Structure 1
Amino acid sequence: MSETEPAEGFRHGRPRQIENRPYAEYADRWAIVVGISSYQHDSLCLRYAHRDANEFCDWLQTPSGGGFAADHIVKLIDQEATTSNITRALRSFLKRPAREDVVVVYFACHGGPDPDRPGNIYLLTHDTDPGDIAGTALPMREIDLALRENLLAERVVIIADTCHSAAIAANRRASGGSALVNRYLQELSLSKPGTALLTSAD
């Protein structure tokens, strides 16, 4: 996969078996959609992430996409997709769905490890400083905590279209960012029954 653009294809992770029922049978549908092409630091900028997120959000609101209500979607694009705004969506918005609802979490952006602590994985938000990943990016554990502690819904779909930043790799000791993000989410989906995962292909 390119280091400067999200992948165009997706591959399935290995989520646990979940019951196959149409969206209409669930009480309600909720989504968080994040797409970041424009970053405060130009070295991180992408081309299509914002477009893909907008198109996905529009599709969710069609009958074929599940007919999600507009007020049941948090869409954070470019300048709106700050670390604080995404954290608020994960911590507060995801408290709203009921146990029988279905939740979709979609993000298209950079992702990868802190070069100084490769075991700590992050999503690079609009206001991330590539020189201070740990202090400014969104820890992947925020998604983990949100699904485990904030969310009651038992049916979750995570769609991750991430790529590794060449700017960070060129200046710091970091590699394999997208693969690390995907691996983290795969482990999360395996540990939480009812979670399905789609990740970008390398």
Structure 2
Amino acid sequence: MNPTGYPQGHALLIGVANYQHVSTLPGAILNDVNDVAATLSSPKYCAYDPANVVTLLDANATREAVLKGLDELAARAGLDDTACVFFSGHGGVVGNPGNEGSVLVTVDTNLADIEKTSISSDELATALAQIKVKRLLVFIDACHAGGAAISKRLTDGKGHELKSGYSSNTFAKLAVGSGRALMASCRADEESAVLTGERNSVFTTALLAGLRGAADKSASGFIKVFDLFNYVSEEVPKLNPNDQHPIFKADNLEVNFAVALSHGGKKSPYSPGTAPKADEKDSWSVLEEVLVEIYPSGPRDQEVWSRAGGDLSRLPFHPTGQAAWHAAIRTLKQGGGGRGISFGSLVRTAKEDFSNHPQLAMLHAP
């Protein structure tokens, strides 16, 4: 265990299940916030200072209180710190099709006066921009479905309605800025499952496991942002029998930054200069790390993706090499990226360029 913990970690966790004016959500939403807070604060897991982990639940999660909580997070978190913002509750879609925005639905949101009683995506983006840290990660678990049927529209019983969820435009807006990333529980057209009888939502179940060490497959002693998303994105579809795919947005993210300690900072038994054997570490993770190192501009660097049989038009564009490799490897693992490319062909092509690279040498290319 690391006796110094992770004092640079700060978090604001918000959860609303029992709304004043719109439909309630399963109690698992409150469990989600409490369990994430406990995991972040635990010296056995993420090792944040408990004083730096603030929760706002139900009646305490008003519009005013949430904005104040974000202001206080900005005030206490320094430039070299890591900040996490977690929200579980209703989201609402506003605006015209093609130009849709979103609102965060706080406990006191009144559908008769959305503008003054909810938090718009512009307001939320502005509040996040005031958090002047090098590493900011935003989690949104919304569009819930589970327990009693939850409509895709929020109503107040007085004739006012609001489309439930978040627009894809909002996710991109909230991730703007260097060192900032957003992880959402599902795509804009999907539902975030809360399975009957389960303590947590599907997304938060996977997130908790990742924060408790499952995302640190290399036993580095840290939970890192790309590793965490990789883990969550692979686990959620396994847990949810219906379609649910978490999404990840990052505008200018070049580094696989640490979010927290893993197992209180427990590291691999390997010395700093000794790499584990490929079969002792997830081969996909090793390959991604190596590719980021040797082709820093991404899959287009030295045309490595094309030479390995891939189709660059099948890959999403990302402004940084690391983010581009992260997305490309995930696409390849799911069977995409071009008909002719595979794990083996990519390894073989990289070995042709860097025949003496020690980590590449340990990767088997079937």
Fold match (TM-score > 0.5): yes
Give secondary structure in 2 for the equivalent of 1:32: strand
**What is the aligned-residue identity percentage?**
25
1:58 correspondence with 2:38: yes
Mapped to 2, the partners of 1:129 and 1:49 lie a distance apart of 20
Match among 130, 143, 146 for residue 127 of structure 2: 146
Mapped to 1, the partners of 2:160 and 2:96 lie a distance apart of 8
1:46 correspondence with 2:20: no
Mapped to 1, the partners of 2:138 and 2:44 lie a distance apart of 18
> Match of 1:155?
135
Counterparts of 1:26-175 in structure 2, within 5 Å, are: 28-41=8-21, 43-47=22-26, 48-63=28-43, 65-114=45-94, 119-148=100-129, 150-163=130-143, 166-168=153-155, 171=159, 174-175=162-163
Residue 110 of structure 1 contacts residue 163 of structure 1 at CA under 8 Å; is this kept in 2?
Answer: yes
Deviation at 1:33, TM superposition (A): 0.0
Mapped to 2, the partners of 1:192 and 1:179 lie a distance apart of 20
**Could you list the per-position Cα deviations for residues 8-50 of structure 1 after superposition, in whole angstroms to 9, with x for gaps in the alignment?**
xxxxxxxxxxxxxxxx897611000000001112x42101211
Residue 32 of structure 1 contacts residue 73 of structure 1 at CA under 8 Å; is this kept in 2?
Answer: yes
Mapped to 1, the partners of 2:137 and 2:169 lie a distance apart of 16
Residue 111 of structure 2 contacts residue 160 of structure 2 at CA under 8 Å; is this kept in 1?
Answer: no
Greater relative CO, 1 or 2 (CA 8 Å, sep 6+): 1
Residue 115 of structure 1 contacts residue 174 of structure 1 at CA under 8 Å; is this kept in 2?
Answer: no
Deviation at 1:64, TM superposition (A): 5.5
Q: CA RMSD in A?
A: 2.7
1:200 correspondence with 2:185: yes
Residue 63 of structure 2 contacts residue 119 of structure 2 at CA under 8 Å; is this kept in 1?
Answer: yes
Structure 1 residue ranges, 4+ long, deviating more than 6 angstroms after superposition: 115-118
Mapped to 1, the partners of 2:73 and 2:166 lie a distance apart of 28
Structure 1 residues 54 and 162: alpha-carbon distance in aligned structure 2, compared to 1, 3 A threshold? same
Deviation at 1:168, TM superposition (A): 3.5
Residue 35 of structure 1 contacts residue 109 of structure 1 at CA under 8 Å; is this kept in 2?
Answer: yes
Mapped to 2, the partners of 1:32 and 1:198 lie a distance apart of 15
Give secondary structure in 1 for the equivalent of 2:173: helix
Residue 116 of structure 1 contacts residue 173 of structure 1 at CA under 8 Å; is this kept in 2?
Answer: no
Which segments of 5 or more consecutive residues in structure 2 lack a partner in the other structure?
145-151, 191-366
Give secondary structure in 1 for the equivalent of 2:154: helix
Residue 91 of structure 2 contacts residue 143 of structure 2 at CA under 8 Å; is this kept in 1?
Answer: yes
Higher strand share: 1
Structure 1 residues 179 and 93: alpha-carbon distance in aligned structure 2, compared to 1, 3 A threshold? closer
Give secondary structure in 2 for the equivalent of 1:67: coil
Residue 103 of structure 2 contacts residue 166 of structure 2 at CA under 8 Å; is this kept in 1?
Answer: no
Mapped to 1, the partners of 2:5 and 2:38 lie a distance apart of 21
In the superposition, the TM-score normalised over structure 1's length comes to 0.75
Mapped to 2, the partners of 1:124 and 1:160 lie a distance apart of 12
1:178 correspondence with 2:159: no
> Match of 1:13?
none
Deviation at 1:139, TM superposition (A): 1.7
Give secondary structure in 1 for the equivalent of 2:89: strand
Give secondary structure in 2 for the equivalent of 1:44: coil
